[in-house]
């Protein structure tokens, strides 16, 4: 299936504005590459992780749109979305999907988190250790949605879920994955013994990826995925939210209400130095609030007060 590809140069400072405008008008995915790298040696950043910024000052930004999208109308829509940006250098071409979302999978290796949890792409064989009877293996096809296990925030959440499983907390539990992306955390929880999982994300593409990954893992009947406005009101003994720290602060009441009394909450997407604000916002309703660090990212966990 072909796509319409838009490519244009931009600076590091303007990249977030360009990306927001492209997402606002329906971009399916965005990649970033060094504007000055020679084509054979350049290294693209596919779907940067939560809060990540590119390393280059001058970028080439590329976005995908559905085939048949009229370039002229798209440029008008982008101008309306952010009239302060220069869209005149945009170039268009039709590309096949093989040029895009599968390319990075060739470099993606099986990853282990904690004692039992494995994330393995569809195009890789299971490592011998992942063949163990108690291994919790998620076969992942992240598609165009964030969440492959390679980002430190995802790794922190997976390790936390693996620990919960070791304690027996996940066994038979219902789990909420708020900001589910590819569904990786919800799927890992199910593989580790949870009975049912709910994924919530404001990106319809993420919900498609979550449902697809659930089906591929034989878990389609045990995982539901919703947009925030469609999520049924419920409480859960285990809630994990891998979103930005600013969103965690704003959503403290919402997330707090999702955690059952005595339930466990884990939050990531928090840069080192932001954890105190998050902890302070949740301190009124949670006990045992703690943080741990992986590279420049933090995980904050707590227990809902009874």
Binding site residue list for S-adenosyl-L-methionine: 154, 179, 201, 242
**Binding site residue list:** 154, 179, 201, 242
Which residue, among 1, 25, 2, 22, has the nearest Cα to 10 in the 3D structure?
22
Which residue, among 206, 255, 250, has the nearest Cα to 235 in the 3D structure?
255
> Alpha-carbon distance 265 to 302, whole Å?
5
Structure tokens that stand for 193 in this block: 């013994």
Contact 160, 130 (CB under 8 A): no
Q: What angle do CA 126, 187, 212 make, to 5 degrees?
A: 85
Tell me the C-alpha to C-alpha distance, in Å, between residue 68 and each of 64, 93, 99, 150, 208: 12, 11, 17, 33, 21
- Looking at 2-116, which runs of residues are DSSP E strands? 2-11, 29-34, 45-46, 58-66, 91-96, 111-113
């Amino acid at each position: 299936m072909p796509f319409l590809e838009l490519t244009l140069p931009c600076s590091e400072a303007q990249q977030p504005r360009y990306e927001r405008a492209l997402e606002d008008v329906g971009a399916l995915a965005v990649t970033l590459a060094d504007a000055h790298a020679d084509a054979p040696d350049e290294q693209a950043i596919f779907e940067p992780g939560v809060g990540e910024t590119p390393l280059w000052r001058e970028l080439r930004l590329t976005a995908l749109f559905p085939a048949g999208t009229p370039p002229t109308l798209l440029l008008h829509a982008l101008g309306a979305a952010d009239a302060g940006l220069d869209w005149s250098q945009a170039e268009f071409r039709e590309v096949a999907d093989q040029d895009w979302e599968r390319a990075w999978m060739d470099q993606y290796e099986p990853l282990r988190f904690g004692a039992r949890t494995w994330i393995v792409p569809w195009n890789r064989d299971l490592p011998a250790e992942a063949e163990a009877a108690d291994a919790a293996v998620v076969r992942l096809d992240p598609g165009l949605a964030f969440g492959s296990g390679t980002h430190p925030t995802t790794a922190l959440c997976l390790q936390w879920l693996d620990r919960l499983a070791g304690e027996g907390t996940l066994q038979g539990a219902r789990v909420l994955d708020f900001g589910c992306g590819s569904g990786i955390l919800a799927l890992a929880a199910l593989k580790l013994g949870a009975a049912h999982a709910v994924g919530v994300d404001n990106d319809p593409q993420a919900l498609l990826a979550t449902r697809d990954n659930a089906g591929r893992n034989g878990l389609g009947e045990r995982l539901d995925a919703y947009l925030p406005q469609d999520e049924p009101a419920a409480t859960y003994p285990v809630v994990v939210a891998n979103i930005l720290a600013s969103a965690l602060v704003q959503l403290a009441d919402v997330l707090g209400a999702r955690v059952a009394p005595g339930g466990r909450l884990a939050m990531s997407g928090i840069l080192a130095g932001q954890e105190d604000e998050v902890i302070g916002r949740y301190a009124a309703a949670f006990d045992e609030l703690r943080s741990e660090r992986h590279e420049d990212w933090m995980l904050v966990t707590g227990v809902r007060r009874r």
